[in-house]
Structure 1
Amino acid sequence: MNVAVEASPTGATQARLIEIVFPDHTNHLGTLFGGQALAWMDKAAFVVATRYARRTVVTARSEQVDFRLPVRQGQLVELIARIVATGRSSMQVEVDLIAEDPLTGDSRLCTRGRFTMIALDAHGTPTAITPLPAAIEPA
């Protein structure tokens, strides 16, 4: 069974999540644990992939995660997840983690990563998804 999905740059191909960095998310230096950043990024990838495929999805791979700048306790974190490519049952999701100082509004890209998400049918078997329209795929 094939599922039709409406995909547009502001629709099912992008999702945004907001988090705040509390003390229990940080290490002894007061910066965000890398594992917490990855968990939030995986969550954002899951949300956008689920919305795109309208199927159960699982993470198959995380790769090329670049930690560029530390995220400090008290900062807001915006996660922007985008479907950048599709296969038969897979979706490549790029996730940006942007930290924002809530008092000044200063924001910086801190971490970027790519996740491969797989759509599953009711039996847990990879299942076909609608291809990403060429007009949306990055050049």
Structure 2
Amino acid sequence: MPTAPSEARLMEMVFPDHTNHLGTLFGGQALAWMDKAAFIVASRYARRTVVTARSEEVNFRVPVRTGQLVELVARVVSVGRSSMQVEVEMTAEDPLSGDRRVCTTGRFVMIALDSNGSPTHVPAMPGSVD
């Protein structure tokens, strides 16, 4: 059986409708993209339907401006019986200069569900002791 993917990468472009009156990315939009990345990696890791149980330790470090690209890297960093902790790092990139800066980081707890909508077992991380 192949190893479950524990990392996902997404790219988004920051358009004016993603920003506030200052031309910087809405915090809620950043959280939505981060949650999407966490959802994708957790779904692929568990091969189950997943839902977000919690977001925590979200740090907005650098503003992201209209016209920048953002790369989101989501990694499953630990696994419980039905939960997965996912760290997400969002990096802003100026598409003309190539300048890149980590702008936002956060941790999400995702829960795997069975066909009845109840929490269900997810595979242990490779190398972990169960």
Return the match for 1:82 from 53, 75, 81.
75
In structure 2, the gaps of 5 or more residues are none
Displacement of 1:134 in angstroms is 3.0
1:73 alignment counterpart: 66
Give the aligned residue type for 1:6: T
Return the match for 1:6 from 3, 7, 13.
3
Q: Any idea what the Cα deviations from partners look like across 1:42-62, whole Å, max 9, x if unmatched?
A: 000000000000000000000
Give the aligned residue type for 1:65: V
Give the aligned residue type for 1:111: T
Moved over 4 A (4+): none
1:111 alignment counterpart: 104
2:41 alignment counterpart: 48
1: CA distance, partners of 2:88 / 2:120: 23
8 A contact 1:5–1:53 mirrored in 2: no
Displacement of 1:133 in angstroms is 1.7
Give the aligned residue type for 2:54: R
TM-score, length of structure 2 as denominator length: 0.96
2: CA distance, partners of 1:32 / 1:96: 15
Identity %: 72
Structure 1 vs Structure 2 CA RMSD: 1.1
Within-5 A mapping of 1:10-25: 12-25=5-18
1:134 alignment counterpart: 127
Give the aligned residue type for 1:119: A
In structure 1, the gaps of 5 or more residues are none
TM-score, length of structure 1 as denominator length: 0.90
Q: Any idea what the Cα deviations from partners look like across 1:80-104, whole Å, max 9, x if unmatched?
A: 0000000000000000000000001
